[in-house]
Copies of this chain bind each other. A is one copy, B any other.
C-alpha cells in the first residue's frame, strides 16, 4: 500500500494526501478528514526510503561508537540510551556504527551513502581524522569530547583536566601525599584518547602544584586488569595511600586488589576518580567521584546536532561540563593523619 492507493480511496490526488499529512499547504477540513480516515483504516505509513529520497532527509542520526574489541563501560551504555531517547523525542532514529581509529568502512558508508542526516562521535581522539574528514565535508556532526583544535567543531564534553585536578585537590586536602593515577589502557593513550590524555594532564599538574609524589599507570578495561594494576601500585610504592582513576571498567578490580592486600577503604586507602554515578554506587564502599553525567551529555549532543542539521551554517556551539565531586564513602583522611 502506498500514497497512491490512499489517494484513490479518498478520491483525491496524491499531492493532496501528501499535504494533508505534512501540513505544508492548507487542505480543506473536509478532505483532510476523509484522507485521515482512509489512512487510519488502512494503517498507512509513508515509506521511509521514498521519503528520504524525495526530500533528502533520512530523519536518522548516526552514533559512531568504539568497536566491541574495547570493553564497553557502563557510562557508554547510559550514554547510548540517553541519545536514543533524546533522538526519539526529536523524531529521529539512531543508527549505530562501530568505528575504529581511521575513517573506516562502516563509518564511510554512513556518510557517503547518506544513511544519516548527522552523526554523534564517541571516544574522540586529540588528533581525530574522522573529525577532520567531517569538517572538510561540512557534515553535521557533534563530538563527545574535543580534539586538540576544537574551535571549528561542535562538541559536548567533560573538562577532564579540571575533574582529575579536583580529585587530586580532594585527596591532598585529606592529607594524602603519595597517590597513583590509573588511566585507560596503553593502546587508547597511544591512539590519543582525549579523556585519557587530558585526565592525565590534570592529575599531573595538580599533583605538582600540591607537591605530591605520584605514579601513573595504564590499565586494561576490565576487573582482572584493575586487580593486577593495584598489585603493581602497592609493590612499586607500598606507601601509596590513594588513587585517582578514569577507568570505570577496572574499578571493581582495583577494589578487589585493595581487599586482597588487606587495605581497607577508606581507612587505609582512598579511591576516587571520574565515573558515572550509577556505577559509582555499585561498589562497596560507594565511590566518591566526579559523576559523569552521561544522560545529560547524550541529551545535549542530540540537541546540538538537531540544531546543526536545521541550520547548516550556524556558528559552532559546544558545552563543556564540569560536574562536581559527589562525596560518597571511598575517601578519607590519609592514614596517620586522622
Contact = CB atoms under 8 A, between A and B. Distances in A.
A278 interface: yes
B114 A49 contact: yes
Interface residues of A, number: 59
Contact of A94 (B48, B96, B108): B96
A308 interface: no
Contacts of A52: 49
Contacts of A255: 284
Contacts of A286: 223, 256
A48 B255 CA distance: 48
A50 interface: yes
A220 interface: no
A75 to B, nearest CB: 10
Contact of A282 (B78, B108, B252, B259): B252
A282 B254 CA distance: 9
Contacts of A128: none
Interface stretch (A30-38, A81-89, A176-184, A201-209): A81-89
A97 B108 contact: no
Interface in A44-99: 44-53, 58, 60, 63, 67-68, 71-72, 74, 76-78, 80-82, 84-85, 88, 93-98
Given A45-B112, A53-B53, A251-B282, A98 B85 contact: yes
Nearest to A1: B112
A222 interface: yes
B281 A252 contact: yes
A84 B98 CA distance: 7
B85 A77 contact: no
B82 A93 contact: no
B284 A259 contact: yes
A52 B89 CA distance: 26
Contacts of A94: 95-96
A115 interface: yes
B43 A47 contact: no
A119 B95 CA distance: 13
Contacts of A50: 49, 53
A259 B285 CA distance: 9
A266 interface: no
A115 B93 contact: yes
A72 B68 contact: no
B88 A98 contact: yes
Contacts of A106: 88, 93
Contacts of A115: 48-49, 60, 93
Given A108-B45, A251-B282, A93 B84 contact: no
Contacts of A93: 95-97, 106, 109-110, 115
A107 to B, nearest CB: 11
Interface in A274-301: 278, 281-286, 295
Interface hub of A44, A45, A76, A93 (most chain B Cβ within 10 A) = A93
6 contacts: A48-B113, A48-B114, A48-B115, A60-B115, A93-B96, A223-B278
Q: Which 5 A-B pairs have the closest CB atoms?
A: A252-B282, A45-B112, A49-B52, A68-B81, A48-B113
